[in-house]
């Protein structure tokens, strides 16, 4: 039997859903992962203590059934009883304590958990944090089996979710239904995550029926898929941003005038038109405009004479040379990264910034390099893991996120102070005011250059039913099924 025929037969099974990806996940350890592809897989296997309603309006019970706090620093969680991990280990207070210790080590979680009762846990934070529930709702805070966390080898993906890991190899991950799932059995027997190299291959696989659903549709594939018989294309406002990231620790990007010059050298209108096919919104702030706390600060206008003046003031009247790191691995916010890199290279050349494009071998290498600061300029982005502004601002701008998600390596005591104050405020209006001040400071310091926000597209065969898309764009399959 040919490989193509085998794939078509597998894809046509009514009890198996094939999900199209454009790259492999960086890690199947949720406590170590930071990328969207990893989140798309692990969120079906490991569950968080709380999750947000699909519309993002409020938190709801997951592995914790209730929670309470009086000061946003000490939180008490009552856990769901009768839940077991896929390896048979009981989910209880001891399991949560072990997971929070892992998160403290792997993600620098600023607090500790303690057992109050068999199914009651207290989490005490180093500082008050009104955004804790939003943080804990992320896929990367999913609960894993304590047996795996305590293993000397790399932990396997073992959670409590509706699906369990059956097999994983480059290009393909298989999940099988968890027959003992506390939320009830799924209608699907399994999920297959299949990697296709590029948007054209992904669109073709969806059209032929080799793939049932994908949330990795790039802007250049939207028009190709729209109106095709048998395919539904949904869109939602994207809580995301794409940005040009200068390494703030390297000359000349340690000079704010140089970073401001970059911001004025880029034609965002042309980027949206040429790189996104018109499907996008020009960015001015580190937050997307649909997120609460967004500030209507001044628009970042194309002004190349001003860019040249700023470069001259910084001592670079003749410009300078730099490398622009990119990778041929699309993300929802970077659907055509090499094309975007070429457009930005040409824009920067107009003001004397001569950039040489350097291509990383793959997404993992790319992420490793930018995380450790091994680059001059890079193209990056962020997709919300939660609906709280803290998710964007602390991840991308806080000093203690350098070496993790703050890949610009920007450090500002004033920014750190604003973000800390906002986390400690329980009143959302006061938090929003502090976040507006943080965005004004961002525009002054310009640690990285906002480019655009993109809508998120989900494409699926019309034989697929019951999909749920949460406010951050993650798909849930626990209620999904296939039917002609």
Give the CA distances from residue 480 to residues 13, 165, 189, in Å, rounded to whole numbers and listed in that order. 14, 18, 11
Distance in angstroms (rounded) separating the CA atoms of residues 197 and 362: 12
Beta bridge partners of 110: none
Query: Would you tell me how many other CB atoms lie within 10 Å of the CB of residue 123?
Result: 23
Residue 473 binned pLDDT confidence (cut-offs 50, 70, 90): confident
Distance in angstroms (rounded) separating the CA atoms of residues 84 and 90: 5
Share of the chain above pLDDT 90, in %: 70
Q: Which two tokens stand for residue 26?
A: 């960086």
Residue 90 binned pLDDT confidence (cut-offs 50, 70, 90): very high
Closest CA to 279 of 319, 318, 340, 237: 237
Tell me the pLDDT of the chain averaged across its residues. Answer: 91
- Residue range 101-123, pLDDT digits in tens: 999 999 889 999 999 999 999 99
Q: Is the dihedral of CA 369, 374, 378, 382 positive or negative?
A: positive
Cβ atoms of 198 and 336 closer than 8 Å: no
Give pLDDT, residue 7: 45
| Higher per-residue confidence, 407 vs 484 | 407
Give the CA distances from residue 352 to residues 11, 268, 431, in Å, rounded to whole numbers and listed in that order. 51, 18, 41
Give pLDDT, residue 233: 86
Interval 16-44 mean pLDDT: 91
Distance in angstroms (rounded) separating the CA atoms of residues 421 and 434: 7
Give pLDDT, residue 259: 98
Give pLDDT, residue 222: 79
Closest CA to 394 of 423, 428, 372, 431: 423
- Residue range 421-469, pLDDT digits in tens: 999 888 899 999 999 999 999 999 999 999 999 888 889 999 999 998 8
**pLDDT exceeds cutoff 70 at 1:** no
Give residue 120's Cα distance to chain centre: 30
Return all residues near 12 (Cβ < 8 A) that are at least 6 apart: 209
HSE (side-chain half, CA atoms, 13 Å) at 120? 6
Give residue 314's Cα distance to chain centre: 35
Distance in angstroms (rounded) separating the CA atoms of residues 65 and 80: 6
Residue 251 binned pLDDT confidence (cut-offs 50, 70, 90): very high
**pLDDT exceeds cutoff 90 at 186:** yes
Q: Which two tokens stand for residue 70?
A: 């009086």
- Residue range 136-181, pLDDT digits in tens: 999 999 999 999 997 777 778 999 999 999 999 999 999 999 999 9
Interval 366-387 mean pLDDT: 92
Distance in angstroms (rounded) separating the CA atoms of residues 365 and 6: 32
Share of the chain above pLDDT 70, in %: 96
Distance in angstroms (rounded) separating the CA atoms of residues 379 and 414: 26
Residue 13 binned pLDDT confidence (cut-offs 50, 70, 90): low
**pLDDT exceeds cutoff 80 at 220:** no
**pLDDT exceeds cutoff 50 at 10:** no
Give pLDDT, residue 104: 94
| Higher per-residue confidence, 290 vs 416 | 416
Give the CA distances from residue 318 to residues 266, 310, 314, 315, 349, in Å, rounded to whole numbers and listed in that order. 18, 12, 11, 8, 11
Closest CA to 269 of 237, 303, 301, 243: 301
**pLDDT exceeds cutoff 70 at 11:** no
Give pLDDT, residue 2: 45
* pTM: predicted TM-score of the whole model, two decimal places: 0.76
């Amino acid at each position: 039997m040919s490989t193509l025929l085998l794939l078509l037969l597998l894809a046509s099974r009514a009890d198996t859903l094939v999900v199209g990806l454009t790259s492999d996940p960086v890690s199947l350890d949720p406590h170590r992962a930071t990328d969207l592809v990893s989140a798309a897989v692990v969120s079906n296997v490991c569950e968080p203590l709380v999750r947000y309603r699909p519309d993002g309006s409020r938190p709801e019970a997951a592995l914790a059934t209730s929670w309470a706090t009086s000061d946003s620093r000490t939180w008490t969680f009552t856990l769901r009883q009768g839940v077991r991990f896929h390896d048979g280990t009981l989910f209880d207070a001891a399991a949560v304590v072990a997971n929070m210790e892992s998160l403290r080590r792997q993600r620098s979680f600023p607090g500790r958990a303690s057992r109050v009762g068999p199914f009651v846990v207290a989490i005490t934070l180093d500082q008050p944090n009104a955004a804790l529930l939003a943080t804990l709702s992320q896929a990367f805070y999913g609960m894993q089996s304590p047996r795996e966390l305590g293993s000397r080898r790399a932990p396997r993906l073992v959670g409590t979710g509706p699906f369990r890991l059956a097999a994983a190899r480059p290009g393909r991950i298989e999940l099988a239904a968890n027959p003992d799932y506390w939320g009830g059995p799924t209608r699907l027997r399994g999920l297959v995550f299949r990697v296709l190299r590029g948007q054209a291959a992904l669109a073709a696989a969806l059209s032929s029926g080799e793939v049932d659903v994908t949330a990795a549709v790039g802007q250049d594939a939207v028009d190709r898929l729209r109106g095709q018989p048998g395919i539904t294309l949904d869109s939602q406002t994207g809580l995301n941003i794409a940005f040009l990231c200068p390494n703030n620790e390297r000359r000349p990007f340690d000079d704010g005038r140089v970073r401001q010059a970059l911001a004025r050298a880029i034609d965002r209108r042309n980027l949206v038109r040429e790189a996104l096919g018109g499907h996008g919104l020009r960015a001015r702030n580190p937050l997307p405009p649909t997120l609460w706390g967004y500030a209507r600060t001044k628009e970042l206008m194309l002004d190349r004479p001003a860019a040249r003046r700023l470069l001259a003031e910084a001592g670079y009247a003749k410009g300078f040379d730099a490398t622009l790191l990119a990778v041929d691995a699309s993300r929802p916010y970077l659907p055509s990264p090499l094309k975007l890199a070429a457009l930005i290279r040409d824009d920067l050349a107009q003001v004397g910034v001569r950039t040489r494009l350097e291509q990383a071998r793959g997404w993992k290498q790319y992420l490793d390099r930018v995380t450790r600061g091994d680059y001059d300029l890079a193209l990056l982005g962020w997709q919300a893991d939660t609906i709280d502004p803290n998710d964007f601002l602390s991840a991308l701008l806080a000093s203690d996120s350098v070496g993790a998600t703050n890949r610009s390596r920007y450090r500002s005591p004033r920014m750190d102070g604003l973000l800390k104050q906002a986390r400690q405020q329980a009143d959302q209006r006061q938090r929003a005011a502090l976040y507006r001040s943080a965005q004004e400071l961002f525009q002054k310091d310009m640690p990285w250059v906002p480019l655009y926000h993109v809508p998120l597209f989900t494409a699926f065969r019309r034989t697929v039913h019951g999909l749920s898309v949460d406010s951050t764009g993650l798909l849930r399959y626990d209620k999904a099924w296939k039917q002609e």
